[in-house]
């Protein structure tokens, strides 16, 4: 079927349709085109508000890109499966619809000016503290939005946040709650305990082949080889374009000029004495400055005077030493004075902080490499930039070649690379960089590669490398034979049998007179793992509380809790602030979740099959 589509994609009617698509993309963006075809194809409805397939697909794609961006190669490939992403996207869209409908019912609104103000102030869209249009457009394009669609999304976000802020802002914490937390945190417990080693028990556990076979027969579904694929692939790198780019002398000269313009210039080592004018009158400050100058003229050392007179707590103890200063790093009046001085000079200047007495200790002139010395490095950098741009420019051609062919040979020949073959890997990924890449794994187990036996889309590994894959072989999930699974079965049976034996020994030790208890008195919360388990036990009443607990390494601890000593309500101001913040945040989260659940319970929600 796919081949029929490719064979018929050269007709005049198809070209007209493609022309329409190109114009629509250029004028309105991809979402406008998709909506024009399936805007009525809804996947859910919330109190009369439709959630369309377009919104679901865009939400799934946004989640996919965000997961890869945040977690890179560490993302679990299972999270990138289409059904998982689409299900999460629908759930999120339903929750947004509930909150949006609530805000509308409350007559809340957001103006375009509010949206614009938010975008202008957002840090991720700024360069040097100013709104960067290029960065903004690049960001929204990476999420698959047009500017209009993204602004509408932000408007809805702000609208929804209003109701959440109202709920969170209504929460408050009473003093007794803070005191209760403080008392719990400082509580102390006295106990006895005995540890039982799982490793020792496992080492002394004997298992027969009959037991192993019986366990295997009863748990065959636990011993499966996962579904695996082997793929052919071509990697096209920016370095493959080295022989297709050139660097001119003019470009090298421009690069050198840019380098010298940004290179470190002269730096000056300075010390200063600050006479603060915020804590004294100007007349008092001038009199203090004159006093310092007089002592300096009389032979006093500048460093000693700085320790005695300077109001700059950051430098006074080091004799006023500021270290080497480059232009652009200090207040302009200070800088202008410093860079007009000669080595050894002392001069005064006034800034918004007060009067400064400055001493120039030394001058360091940065040595800028000559063009000849820098040329090779500049040329290498320019070539790397040009080849990266060349690879980016070739993305469309690579995609077309991958789509037009059922194999990878055409791509390999066009770009002078080899078709390589991976080892087998599962949906959890393989052992090398390629087969552990989430995007590669997602493509390898996607319908295009796995079911339709076609080349994958272009997969961007990084700025300098793209890959296209094709299925080489596919192994279905299968139950291992007993012989292949025997080692794993043995490990499971020994573990389970050892744990059961250990629990029996721990239970018997509760009342045995021979039990050798270790005692701990007045243990504080969190001081070790056993103590942490002790703090999960109920208070003893008429007699000690005895329980068997499991440690993180599998060992068991038989614990006898004897006494609980109430803690103190007294806490430092910083501790109280931390407890109050924690309680406030916890209560606000619980309230917003409860409100969301109430909206969901009272709403008429209809989902359609995907």
The SS3 of residue 345 is: coil
Half-sphere exposure of 246 (CA within 13 A, CB side): 3
- Return the pLDDT at 250: 94
Cα–Cα dist 36/17, whole Å: 14
- Return the pLDDT at 75: 74
pLDDT digits (tens, 9 = 90+) for 7-17: 434 443 333 33
- Say if residue 329's pLDDT is above 90: no
Higher-pLDDT residue of 23, 187: 187
Cα–Cα dist 202/216, whole Å: 19
Higher-pLDDT residue of 408, 266: 408
pLDDT band at 4, cuts 50/70/90?
very low
Pick the CATH number of 228-246+383-479 from 1.10.20, 3.30.70, 3.40.50, 3.10.50: 3.10.50
- Say if residue 177's pLDDT is above 60: yes
228-246+383-479 and 264-364: identical CATH topology = yes
Residue ranges covered by each domain of the chain: 1-28, 187-223+495-565, 228-246+383-479, 264-364
Burial 446-483, CB ≥16 within 10 A → b, else e: bebbbeeebbbbbbebeebbbbbbbbeebeeeeebeee
Q: Is 503 exposed, middle or buried (0-12, 13-18, 19+ CB in 10 A)?
A: middle
- Return the pLDDT at 27: 37
- Return the pLDDT at 13: 34
Higher-pLDDT residue of 433, 9: 433
Mean pLDDT score of the chain: 87
The SS3 of residue 234 is: strand
- Say if residue 31's pLDDT is above 60: no
The SS3 of residue 288 is: helix
- Return the pLDDT at 609: 64
Mean pLDDT score, 208-236: 95
∠ CA 62-65-69, nearest 5°, is 135
- Say if residue 23's pLDDT is above 60: no
Highest mean pLDDT among 145-149, 173-177, 448-452: 448-452
Which has the closest alpha carbon to 290: 360, 357, 361? 357
pLDDT digits (tens, 9 = 90+) for 387-396: 999 999 999 9
Fold of 264-364: Chitinase A; domain 3 (3.10.50)
- Nearest 10 degrees: CA dihedral of 284, 287, 288, 290? 160
- Say if residue 417's pLDDT is above 80: yes
- Rounded to 10 deg, the angle between the 30-38 and 53-71 helix axes is 140
- Return the pLDDT at 576: 85
The SS3 of residue 503 is: helix
Mean pLDDT score, 33-61: 75
- Return the pLDDT at 30: 42
- Name every residue whose Cβ is closer than 8 Å to that of residue 505 and which is 6 or more positions away in sequence: 196, 201
Mean pLDDT score, 357-368: 87
């Amino acid at each position: 079927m796919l081949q029929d589509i490719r064979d018929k994609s050269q007709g005049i009617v198809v070209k007209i349709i493609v022309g329409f698509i190109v114009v629509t993309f250029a004028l309105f963006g991809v979402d406008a085109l998709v909506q024009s075809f399936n805007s009525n194809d809804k996947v859910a409805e919330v109190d009369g508000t439709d959630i369309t397939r377009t919104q679901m697909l865009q939400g799934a794609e946004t989640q996919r890109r965000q997961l890869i961006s945040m977690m890179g190669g560490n993302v679990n490939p299972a999270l990138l499966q289409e059904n998982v992403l689409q299900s999460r996207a629908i759930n999120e869209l339903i929750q947004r619809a509930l909150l949006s409908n609530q805000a509308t019912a409350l007559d809340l609104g957001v103006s375009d000016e509010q949206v614009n103000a938010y975008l202008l102030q957002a840090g991720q869209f700024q360069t040097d503290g100013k709104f960067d249009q290029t960065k903004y457009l690049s960001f929204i394009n990476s999420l698959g939005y047009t500017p209009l669609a993204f602004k509408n999304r932000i408007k809805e976000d702000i609208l929804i946040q209003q109701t959440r802020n109202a709920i969170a802002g209504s929460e408050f914490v009473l003093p007794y709650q803070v005191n209760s937390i403080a008392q719990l945190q400082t509580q102390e417990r006295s106990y006895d305990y005995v540890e039982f080693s799982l490793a020792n028990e496992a080492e002394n556990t004997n298992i027969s082949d009959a037991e192993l076979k019986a366990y295997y027969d009863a748990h065959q579904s636990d011993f499966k080889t996962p579904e695996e694929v082997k793929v052919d692939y071509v990697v096209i790198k920016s370095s493959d374009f080295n022989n297709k780019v050139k660097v001119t002398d003019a470009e090298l000269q421009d690069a050198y000029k840019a380098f010298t313009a940004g290179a470190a210039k002269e730096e000056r080592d300075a010390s200063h004495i600050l006479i603060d004018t915020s804590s004294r009158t100007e007349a008092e400050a001038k009199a203090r400055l004159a006093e310092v100058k007089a002592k300096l003229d009389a032979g006093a050392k500048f460093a000693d005077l700085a320790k005695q007179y300077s109001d700059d707590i950051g430098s006074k103890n080091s004799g006023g030493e500021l270290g080497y200063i480059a232009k652009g790093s200090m207040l302009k009046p200070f800088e202008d004075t410093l860079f007009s001085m000669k080595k050894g000079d002392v001069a005064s200047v006034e800034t918004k902080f007060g009067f400064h007495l400055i001493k120039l200790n030394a001058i360091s002139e940065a040595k800028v490499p000559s063009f000849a010395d820098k040329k090779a490095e500049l040329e290498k950098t320019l070539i790397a930039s040009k080849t990266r741009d060349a690879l980016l420019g070739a993305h469309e051609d690579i995609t077309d070649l991958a789509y037009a062919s059922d194999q990878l040979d055409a791509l390999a020949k066009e770009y002078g690379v080899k078709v390589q073959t991976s080892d087998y890997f599962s949906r959890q990924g393989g052992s090398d960089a390629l087969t552990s890449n989430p995007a590669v794994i997602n493509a390898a187990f996607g319908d295009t590669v796995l079911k339709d036996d076609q080349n994958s889309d272009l997969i961007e590994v990084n700025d300098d490398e793209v890959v296209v894959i094709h299925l080489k072989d596919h192994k279905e999930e299968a139950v291992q034979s007993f012989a292949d699974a025997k080692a794993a079965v043995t490990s499971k049976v020994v573990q389970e049998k050892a744990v059961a034996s250990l629990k029996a020994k721990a239970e018997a030790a509760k009342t045995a007179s021979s039990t050798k208890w270790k005692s701990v008195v007045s243990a504080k919360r969190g001081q070790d793992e056993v103590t942490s388990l002790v703090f999960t036990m109920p208070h003893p009443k008429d007699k000690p509380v005895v329980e068997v607990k499991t440690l993180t390494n599998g060992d068991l601890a038989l614990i006898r809790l004897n006494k609980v000593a109430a803690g103190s309500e007294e806490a430092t101001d910083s501790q109280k602030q931390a407890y109050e913040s924690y309680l406030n945040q916890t209560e606000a989260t619980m309230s917003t979740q409860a409100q969301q659940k109430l909206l969901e319970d009272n709403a008429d929600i209809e989902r359609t099959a995907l």
